[in-house]
C-alpha cells in the first residue's frame, strides 16, 4: 500500500515538473501544487499508517474508487 502511494506521489511530481517546464502554469499555481503534496506525504507518513490499521481493505478500495469517480465526473462536467 505504501509503495503504491509513493508511486503515485513520484508520478504526480514528475508530471507537474514536466508541465511547469513546458509553461503550462506559472509560479503562483506551482505553490498551490506544492501545498497539495502535503496531504499526500502525510498519507505515507505515520498518520496514513495509523488510518490504514483501522480501516478495512474493502472500505479503503471503496473510498478510493469513489474518489476517482468523483474526480472523473468533476473533470467531465468542467470540460463540458
What's the predicted TM-score (pTM) here? Answer: 0.47
- The domain limits of the chain are 1-44
State what percent of residues in the chain have pLDDT above 70. 90
| Torsion angles phi and psi, residue 73, rounded to 5 | -65, -45
Distance, in Å, from the CA atom of 62 to the CA atom of 78, rounded to the nearest integer, reads 24
- pLDDT band, residue 75 (cuts 50/70/90): confident
| Torsion angles phi and psi, residue 26, rounded to 5 | -90, -175
Amino acid at each position: 500500500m505504501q509503495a503504491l502511494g509513493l508511486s503515485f506521489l513520484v508520478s504526480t511530481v514528475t508530471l507537474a515538473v514536466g508541465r511547469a517546464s513546458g509553461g503550462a502554469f506559472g509560479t503562483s499555481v506551482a505553490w498551490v501544487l506544492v501545498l497539495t503534496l502535503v496531504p499526500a506525504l502525510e498519507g505515507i507518513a505515520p498518520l496514513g499508517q495509523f488510518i490504514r490499521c483501522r480501516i478495512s481493505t474493502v472500505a479503503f478500495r471503496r473510498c478510493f474508487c469513489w474518489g476517482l469517480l468523483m474526480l472523473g465526473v468533476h473533470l467531465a462536467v468542467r470540460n463540458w
